[in-house]
Amino acid sequence: MTTTSVTEKKGARVHVQAFGTFLSGMIMPNIAAFIAWGIITAFFIPTGWTPNETLVTLVDPMILYLLPLLIANTGGRMVYGTRGGVIASIATMGVIVGSTIPMFIGAMIVGPLSAWILMKVDKIWAGKIRPGFEMLVDNFSAGILGFALALGAFFGIAPLVTGLSAFLEMIVDWLIVNGLLPIASIFIEPGKILFLNNAINHGVLTPIGVQQVQESGKSILFLLEANPGPGLGILLAFSFFGVGLARASAPGAIIIQFLGGIHEIYFPYVLMKPMMVLAAIGGGMTGVAVNVAFQTGLRAPASPGSIIAVLAQTPATDFIGVILSVIASAGVSFAIGGVILRASRKKDLAAENDNELAAAIAKTEANKGKSSSILGNLGASATAGSAVKNIVFACDAGMGSSAMGASVLRNKIKKAGIEGVTVTNQAIANLDGTADLVITHQDLTDRARGKSPKSVHVSVDNFMNSPKYDEVVQSLQGTNEGVTK
């Protein structure tokens, strides 16, 4: 394979990740609204826990109007601030009223697009308006454009999105009727591990799933990506059959993954041994098959994908099927993962010894006063007279895995007695170039470097316990002291 083709594939993956992050940026801030709607649905619909003919009237307005408008407003703000959010909401009313189904896909299209169009229109007369008329022009231009976009969305985009939604739902229904839905795991599980889960979940599964909930009260699609079973099985396999650092850190990762719902924690374990993707696929397919057999589903998205969140959104009649799907998927992924790890145990042990030797050499060089090759740029920045004060952990959504990594490094810096250094976490999309040092998973570093090119970038393969954290601390002790003296 040529260097050009490798670069093209890497670039394509980065673009898909960025697209998934943008979709996630519209959905994730509004997950609380989805949860609230799910709870209202669980209690008050005719088949709910406490049916109520009066309070059930909250269900349809929330799913038809509130949730799409929240998504659109968030997407518009991401593109063009408050003005973008306002015109996104106006235009999205066009697709909402122009269709009889929940317009989540329509909101994710029309919202950001409307804000982008307004931004371009504003640039036409930027700096050309006489003083005192700015507010008048801004308000009327946005109002007139919103009028036009709402009509365009009503007559043009709403029918297209309705047709697209019907087509996607038809494919899902066909897979379910023919017992082929487990095949989806062949694409979903590797996609998750490559950090494409946001594009899969928020771009396809959530919009169709919410529509199915409106029709039948639940959707199996909410369990395709959120099921914590495959990740649990993989981490259990590393706990029993792994070696070295992977085995030592896996039990702690189980708590974070299964109870906390942060699935990213098991991705590095699969990436360090790519054959383990078979365990993820096997577990995912098993979980889907069990849910198909029991005809189970969730009332709303389970986010994060914690067993607690999953059970909270499970209808009272579906607990047995959902719990069995989690247990079965974990069991299958554990069995497949165990076989893979046992088969390569001797090789892994040898590699672990090599790593220990490399670590010992690195420690010796550090004791001699030689700078770390990994953080050579960090040392160079200190020589130029700028101490590292702002460290940012960045991941796809800016929560989960980056928050864990930030916590680990923050504790190490505190124990080392280093002061004046802030360690925070945020989404890659929100990097603004002000960070002195950015730490990301190795598969996301290219995107982070594009958002914050002047920062020093460090790639890790495991947010929980990377040996590079110690190198960062050692470099901070040397660089910050050198600048402050």
* Helix or strand run (H / E) with residue 460: strand 456-460
DSSP-derived letter for residue 466 is: -
Catalytic residue status for 217: no
CA pair distance 265, 402, nearest whole angstrom: 10
Chain centre distance of CA 264: 8
CA pair distance 457, 254, nearest whole angstrom: 28
Determine contact, residues 139/146, Cβ cutoff 8 Å.
Answer: no
DSSP output for 154-223: IIIIHHHHHHHHHHHHHHHHHHHHTT-GGGGHHHHHHHHHTT-HHHHIIIIIHHHHHHHHHHHS-BGGGG
The dihedrals phi and psi of 482, each to the nearest 5 degrees, come to -65, -35
CA pair distance 324, 322, nearest whole angstrom: 5
b/e string for 135-149 if b means 16 or more Cβ within 10 A? eeeeeebbeebbeeb
What strands lie across the sheet with 456-460, from one edge to the other?
422-427, 390-395, 437-441, 456-460
- Which is the catalytic residue, given 184, 279, 394, 395? 395
Name which of 26, 190, 199 is nearest 106 in CA terms.
26
Handedness of CA 210, 214, 215, 220 (dihedral sign): positive
Active site residues: 395
